[in-house]
Amino acid sequence: MRRIIKIAFTYVGAVIGAGFVSGQEIFNFFVIHGSEGLALVLITGFLFAILGNSIFLISEKLAVDNYYQLFSYYGGKRLGLLADLNLTLFLLSSFIIMLVGSKEVFSTFIDLKYNWGLILTLLIVIITNFYGLEGVLDLNFILIPILLLIIIVFTLGIDVNLNLSYLKFNLEQLVSTFTYTGYNLVLAITVLLPLVSKFSKLEVMIGISSGGIILGIIAFLIATTLIQFQDQIIGEQLPMLEAVKIYKPQFYYLYALTLWLAMLTTASCNLYALLDRLQLIFKWSREKLLIFVIVLIIPLLQFSFSTLVQGIYPKLGALSLFLFAALVISYIIHRYLLRNEI
């Protein structure tokens, strides 16, 4: 059971970055659609469970444990190389963004000197990754329950007005739901694939399913909070923190802590997957690669969080989503049209 919980929390940790916890993504993808958006948030949880398990099962059948092999099998060498380059850059960029975001959370909300948050985050992430996958699993096993508890306690008492009998979904809302799920699943795939050779099939499937349901519930709680204060928080960069100010101001700094925890778990997952891939390319020891990556990114940590997010995420995220869609289409062609076994 402990192993299953670790997998579930690591899946949550890989997805639940700053955009998720801050409410920015959930507001833009779901809250703007009203009651239909709330219902679609719950559906997203099931999509995380179903699609996450689908990717795992495909990888398990092919006996592959990295994204280059997975994309190469269904899309050929060119798609494999493109996916490899894009996802590796996306992992590196996301890792840098989480570190810079941690620095800004500490300086803006927790009132520590600007670089102390960065140093603390780096130390935890480095120590975690020194122990490999087990270190990442343990970190998420410890931190994700704390993060979830804070979100649940804060959202207690929020009214939920969801009348299923009057819901009418349109194409734009459905596309938004699948886009959001795919966008967040792309980086999670890089963490899920190494589980193929390290856990039993049943453990991983139950863990992914549980993680998907947890993500759906937490997203729903955040969405219900945001929809209550929609008029007051529209246009805000961190809508959940603005909602906290209005609804439970005593939770303001505590909720700022959840932003950091989300960045910390995501950064750890990103770095693990990045080192895992680079190790196959360069054949270096994990320790040497860890030092190489940290030295490489230090100059980039001087940029602001907003500059990095606006400059990198949309481009690499859109390409990653396109590659993920190409993988799904290629799988359908192989499986159902060409009648391949896998």
Q: What is the rounded CA–CA span in Å between residue 4 and residue 11?
A: 11
| Superfamily of domain covering 2-337 | Hydantoin permease (1.10.4160.10)
For residue range 6-43, list pLDDT tens digits in order. 999 999 998 887 778 888 888 888 888 777 888 888 88
Q: What is the rounded CA–CA span in Å between residue 225 and residue 244?
A: 9
Query: Which residue in this structure is represented by tokens 């996306």?
Result: 90
| Per-residue pLDDT at 210 exceeds 90 | yes
Would you say how long the chain is, in residues?
342
Q: Which amino acid is at 114?
A: Y
Q: What is the rounded CA–CA span in Å between residue 260 and residue 30?
A: 23
Is 216:34 a contact under the CB 8 Å cutoff? no
Identify the CA nearest to 190 among candidates 15, 9, 8, 2: 15
Mean pLDDT of all residues belonging to the chain: 83
| Per-residue pLDDT at 113 exceeds 80 | no
3-class DSSP assignment, residue 169: coil
DSSP label of 339: -
Mean pLDDT value across residues 130-145:
91
**The model's pTM:** 0.87
Q: How many CA atoms lie less than 13 Å away from 124 in the CB half-sphere?
A: 24
